[in-house]
Chains A and B, each alone.
Chain A
C-alpha cells in the first residue's frame, strides 16, 4: 500500500480524448517527495527544452503535495507547473483552497494534461469516473460564475472547481487559474490552460488517504495545532502587523494600510506618496473593508483566516486574499478602497493576476502620457482614473486594440511597442512584473533572493529570517530565545549582531557567507513546502512558523514510512532545486538574467553584488554562469542532467569554462 500519496496520476491527452490512470514509481517519491519535485521531474523527462508554452507538447500539471489530504494542518496546496508564456521558463504557481485534497480523495496525486482540445471542454473527475465534457456554453463566463454553473450542472455541490475566465480563454499572459478563495496567478498558467481548451476542472473524491504510522502522525499534527494556538496571537514585535502573526499577509483582517500605501509605489511602480495616510483616509478605508467583508475564511484543514468573502453592493460575490485589494487601487491612483474591491471582482471573474495586471495597465497609461502610445490607441477610453482602468482591463482580457499588446505583460509589450517603451517596463525580473516596491539601501539577502529565485515572486522565497534588524539587543535576545525554527545556532548570532547602523548593518552585514546560508535556508523551506503541499503561511513564509526543518522530517517519516532526517530532506531539496534550475538552464537561463529590477534600491553596490552572486553560486554548487556543475549533479543523483548538459554544450568536460551559446538558448 502507498502511504500519504495515492500512487496514481491521471493523464489526459486532450488532442485524442484519451484518459488514463497511471501507477507511479514509488522510487520517485523517495527521490523528489512529490508536488513541485515530481512536477520538475516530469517536465525534464517529457517536455523537450525547445517546446513552446503554447505547444500541444507542453504539459500542464496540477499536482497535490505529498502530505496533501492527510490531517497535517494547511497541507492543501495545488502545485501547477508548465512552461510559462511570460518568462518562457518553467512556470510554477500554486494555490491553496480545496482542489488538491479533493483530487487526492478521488485517487490521484497529479492531473497531467497534454495536447489541445479542438473544442472548449471541462473535466469532471469523480473518483474513478473521468469525463471530458463540452464547455461551449461556458465560453466567456467568469471564473467564479463557471465554477457555480458546473456544480449546478453536475448536481454536485461538493465538487471543487478550478476555472479560467476570459483572460485564460484568450491566452492573456497574466491569466490566472481561479478556485474559490484561491488562485494560481503568476506566470500565465491560465493562458496555457486556455490554450489547451480547458475551461475548468471539477473534482469530487470520496476515497481514503492512508498514514503509515498513525498515532505518531496525529501527535505531530496535534503539536502543530497547539503551537498555532499559542503563536498566532503572539505577534512578533517591530514587525508590521500583517506579517507579525502566522498565515499569508493578513490583508483581509487588518485595515491599517499606512505601511503599504506610503512605502509601496503607486502607478507604474514609480510614485511614493509619503503623506498619504491620514485620519480621514483611515476611517474611509476601514469602512470600505468592513462594508464588503462578509466573513474571514480559510483553505482546507487550516485554522487561519487569510481570505474573505467580499460582497460589494451591485456586483456578484467573490473571494479575496492577500494584497490584491490594494494593487489596482494604487496602480490607478484611486484614493478610494471601494474601487479596489469592485475592480478586483471583475478581475477575478476575468481570471487575471492581481500583481501583474494593474502594473501592465499603469504602464500603458504612462506610455500614453509620455507620447509613446497615442490617443488613437486609447480611443473611447474614459478620462477618470477609475473608468480608465475598467476600460483597459476589458480590452486586455479580450485582446482588443492596445489591450492585445498589453496582454503580453510589460516586458513583451515594451518590445512590441518600441520607441523607448522598454525604459518603462522597469519593474521586471526574468521578464515578469514584481511587487511595486522601491527602497533605499541594498539589502544583501534580498539581493540574492530577487536575483536567483525562480518562482519570480519574492514572497515565494523570503520568510523565516527577519527582513530587517531589530532595534535593540533586548528585542533581539527575546526573538532568538524561543527561535526553535533556526536550523543552526549561527543564525541566532546573525540576528543578535545585526544592527540598524554602523559596521554591522546593511549592505555589509550579514556578511556574504552568512547571506548565502540565510537565503539557502529560506529557499529550502519553500521548496520543501512545495513538494509536501504545505501552505507557506504555516511554514516557510512567516517568522517562527509551526512547521520547520526540525519537525518536517518526522512528518514525512510518520506519514509515508520512509526514513527521513534533516540531512536527507536537505539532500532532496537540493535535488529538486537543481532540477528546476536545470530545466531553466536548458531553456537559456544564465547569470545575466539574475538581477533585481534596476531601480529596486537607490543605493547599489556593484562590487558587493558581484561578490554575493559569486559566493552564492559557489555555495549552491553552480559554476560562474549559475549552472550546476557536473560533480554536484552527480552528488545529487542527477547524472542524466549532466549528460544532457554536456551533449548540448551547456557544460563542457573542462569545468569552469562556461558555455555562452546553448543550443536551445532563447532570449
Chain B
C-alpha cells in the first residue's frame, strides 16, 4: 500500500567546531516537548544531547533517532583528527547499552520529531536557539515511499511490547483501566 510521494527531507547540519557546549538546544527541546508546551524543562528529557567532554575537546550534539531493541554486536569508536570519541558517541539510537534518549522516569525511548507543530515552526527549536550556528536547518524535496508514522504513545508501547511481550502489556493496560 506504500506509494511514491513527494516529501520534504528535513536536515539539521551539525558543525561541531562551532558548538560552545551551552546545551541551550537541550533546554529548549525539553521545554517544547513538555505538556502543556513550555510548561517545564528538563534536559534529561531532551531529544538532542550534547556529548560534552571539555578536557578532551569533545563537543558533539547528537539527535535521538530510532529506538534499538538490542545492543549492537560490536561497538564503534571514532578517531577524527587525532581526537578520540567514546564508544557509540555518534549513534542516535535509544538503546539498552546507555541511558541517553530515554525518559528519566519511565525509561521509555525518545525520538527527535523535528518539532512538528501546528502551525509549523520555521525551524526546529534547537536550531532557533543555537545562536552560534553549530546547528543549521536545511530542507529539500525528495520522492520517497510513505511510511506509517507512529505516535509517541505507540513508540512507547512498542518498546514495552518488545520488552515484556504483547500479552503482558495488554493485561497490564486492562488491569490499569479497571483500577480507574
Contacts and interface: CB of A to CB of B under 8 A. Distances in A.
A208 B40 contact: yes
A295 interface: yes
B34 A208 contact: yes
Contacts of B31: 71, 214, 218
B38 A302 contact: no
B108 to A, nearest CB: 14
A309 B55 contact: yes
Contact of B27 (A71, A144, A148, A214): A71
Contacts of A301: 22-24, 27
Nearest to B21: A297
| Residue from A205, A206, A316 having most chain B Cβ neighbours under 10 A | A206
16 contacts: A70-B41, A205-B44, A207-B104, A209-B40, A215-B37, A295-B59, A296-B20, A297-B20, A297-B21, A298-B21, A299-B22, A300-B22, A303-B132, A309-B54, A309-B57, A317-B55
Contacts of A85: none
Contacts of A225: 129, 131
* Pairs of residues from A and B, 10 with the lowest C-beta to C-beta distance, nearest first: A214-B38, A303-B131, A206-B44, A206-B104, A208-B40, A298-B22, A298-B20, A208-B42, A214-B39, A218-B38
Contact of B42 (A98, A157, A206): A206
Interface residues of B, number: 30
Given A71-B31, A208-B34, A105 B42 contact: yes
Interface string B48-78: 0000011111010000000000000000000
Contact of A300 (B23, B34, B54, B56): B23
Contacts of A302: 22, 24
Contacts, number: 94
A579 to B, nearest CB: 31
Interface in A192-224: 205-211, 214-215, 217-218, 222
Interface in B13-34: 20-24, 27-28, 31, 34
A34 interface: no
Contacts of A318: 55
Given A71-B31, A210-B40, A222-B128, 8 more contacts: A105-B43, A206-B44, A207-B44, A207-B104, A214-B37, A228-B131, A296-B20, A297-B59
A490 interface: no
Contacts of B38: 71, 211, 214-215, 217-218
Contact of A105 (B20, B36, B44): B44
Contacts of A295: 20, 57, 59
B22 A214 contact: no
A303 B40 contact: no
Contact of B24 (A69, A73, A148): A73
A228 B24 CA distance: 14
A294 interface: yes
A593 to B, nearest CB: 40
A44 B37 CA distance: 40
Given A295-B59, A303-B24, A305-B20, A211 B54 contact: no
Contact of B54 (A70, A181, A214, A316): A181
B49 to A, nearest CB: 9
A302 B44 CA distance: 18
Contact of A211 (B23, B39, B44, B53): B39
A209 B42 contact: yes
Nearest to A205: B44
Contacts of A303: 20, 22, 24, 131-132
Contacts of A453: none
Nearest to B99: A158
B54 A180 contact: yes
Nearest to A305: B20
A302 B39 CA distance: 20
